[in-house]
Structures are given as structure tokens and as C-alpha cells.
């Protein structure tokens, strides 16, 4: 009888080990921090001809803020920004600003990411498209620099340094957006 118990315990231990190994794999896969994963690909990675002019982040002590700038695509094909990460927050989203049925402004995730046309630009501006910082893990003071990593549709990545600035216009939109968190992912 002791035999059986021991074997069962061994089996459980082995199972736990293999599960843990799986978990490690996926964790390092999604973690994907500052490592540039696309640098072994062909010379035509979407990141290669991509720059951001005057990137900046709105100063804030806590909670939500956003990253702005001009996305510039110098390649002969459209480039799509599909996600963004930064060490100032666990979560960033690509947002667009839209008019609600009641005439107010709201923000929502941009379906399909930001498409920057071949040889063209795409503006990220207050009141328009932006990279949404969902929950700051530290205060951002004017003059600081924040490292942002953009990921493109082909998995190539581009790092940029955004300057923290005080923003004085259109505050209502951000207040409005902040209250929207209770219904994020909701239909309206
Ligand atoms: Cu937003």
C-alpha cells in the first residue's frame, strides 16, 4: 500500500514539474521586455524605416496618461503598429478618440492598430489617436525621459524615448476617458 502512495506522489511531482516548465516558457514569451526580437529577420522589417518625431508623454502623478508624437514611415509599404510597452506601466493600449452618441468624446482601443501609410505619417495627438498608459507605476515629472517600445505587425520592434511634458489643453477628454475605465471592453 505504501508503494502505491509513493508512486502516485512521484507522478504528481513529475506533472507539477512539467507544468512549471510550460509556464516558464509562456512567461518568457509574453514578457518580451526590452529584447529586440525582430533583428534576425530580413532587411525589410517594418521597424527599419520607422521613426517617431517629437515623442512626448503627458506628466502625471498616477493613474492614466498618454504618449503622443508623429509616426513616420519612410518605407515603400504600409506599416502597422500593433502594440506598445513601457516600464512605467504594466499595460499600454492603442487608442482612438471618438464622438459618443451624446456628443461627448470617448476613447476606445484602435481596431487593427495604427496603420502608417507608405511614405506617410500618422499623428498621435491629444484629442486624437494616442498610446494609452493604463496605470502608471510611478510619477512622471516634466523633463524626464520614458522609454517606449513599439511592436509592428511583423513582430519587429522600435524603441523610442519620449519626453515628459505638462499638458494644458483638452483636459476634459482625459477626465472623461478616465471615467470610462469602468466600462472598458463594454459595448459603448
Ligand atoms: Cu486613451
Share of the chain above pLDDT 90, in %: 61
Kindly report whether the global pTM for this prediction surpasses the value 0.75: no
Residue 19 has pLDDT above 60, yes or no: no
pLDDT tens profile 26-65:
333 333 344 444 444 446 899 999 999 999 999 999 999 9
Interval between CA 83 and ligand 1 midpoint (Å): 13
What is the signed CA dihedral for 176, 121, 59, 83, rounded to 10 degrees? 80
Specify if 15 maps to a domain.
no
Residue-number span of the structural domain to which 154 is assigned? 46-181
**C-alpha neighbours within 13 Å on the C-beta side of residue 49:** 19
Q: How confident is the model at residue 20 (pLDDT cuts 50, 70, 90)?
A: very low
Interval between CA 145 and ligand 1 midpoint (Å): 20
Cα(92)–Cα(178) distance, rounded to whole angstroms?
A: 14
Cα(32)–Cα(155) distance, rounded to whole angstroms?
A: 11
Specify if 29 maps to a domain.
no
Specify if 160 maps to a domain.
yes
Specify if 3 maps to a domain.
no
The three cell numbers of residue 88 are 512605467
Interval between CA 66 and ligand 1 midpoint (Å): 7
Residue appearing with cell numbers 508623454: 57
The three-state DSSP-derived secondary structure of 86-123 is ECCECCEEEEEEEECCCCCEEEEECCCCEEECCCCEEE
Interval between CA 53 and ligand 1 midpoint (Å): 20
User: What pLDDT does 37 receive?
Assistant: 46
Which residues are 114's β-sheet partners?
A: 81
Q: Is the dihedral of CA 58, 142, 151, 88 positive or negative?
A: negative
Among 124, 121, 129, CA closest to 98: 129
pLDDT tens profile 94-141:
999 998 888 888 999 999 999 999 999 999 999 999 999 999 999 999
Specify if 31 maps to a domain.
no
Specify if 33 maps to a domain.
no
Residue 134, domain CATH: 2.60.40.1890
User: What pLDDT does 168 receive?
Assistant: 75
Interval between CA 162 and ligand 1 midpoint (Å): 17
Interval between CA 182 and ligand 1 midpoint (Å): 13
Specify if 167 maps to a domain.
yes
Interval between CA 149 and ligand 1 midpoint (Å): 17
- b (16+ CB within 10 A) / e for 132-150: bbbebeeebeeebebebbb
Specify if 2 maps to a domain.
no
Phi, psi torsion values for 167, nearest 5 degrees:
-115, 130
Residue 185 has pLDDT above 60, yes or no: no
Number of domains the chain contains: 1
Amino acid at each position: 500500500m505504501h508503494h502505491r502512495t509513493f508512486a502516485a506522489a512521484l507522478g504528481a511531482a513529475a506533472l507539477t514539474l512539467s507544468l512549471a516548465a510550460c509556464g516558464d516558457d509562456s512567461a518568457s514569451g509574453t514578457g518580451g521586455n526590452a529584447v529586440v526580437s525582430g533583428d534576425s529577420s530580413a532587411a525589410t522589417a517594418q521597424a527599419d524605416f520607422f521613426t517617431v518625431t517629437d515623442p512626448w508623454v503627458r506628466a502625471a502623478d498616477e493613474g492614466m496618461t498618454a504618449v503622443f508624437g508623429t509616426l513616420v514611415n519612410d518605407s515603400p509599404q504600409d506599416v502597422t503598429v500593433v502594440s506598445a510597452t513601457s516600464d512605467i506601466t504594466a499595460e499600454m493600449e492603442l487608442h482612438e478618440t471618438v464622438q459618443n452618441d451624446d456628443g461627448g468624446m470617448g476613447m476606445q482601443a484602435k481596431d487593427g492598430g495604427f496603420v502608417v501609410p507608405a511614405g506617410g505619417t500618422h499623428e498621435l495627438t491629444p484629442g486624437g489617436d494616442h498610446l494609452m498608459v493604463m496605470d502608471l507605476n510611478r510619477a512622471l515629472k516634466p523633463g524626464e525621459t520614458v522609454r517606449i517600445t513599439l511592436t509592428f505587425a511583423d513582430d519587429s520592434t522600435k524603441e523610442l524615448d519620449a519626453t515628459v511634458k505638462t499638458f494644458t489643453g483638452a483636459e476634459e477628454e482625459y477626465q472623461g476617458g478616465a471615467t470610462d475605465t469602468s466600462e472598458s471592453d463594454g459595448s459603448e
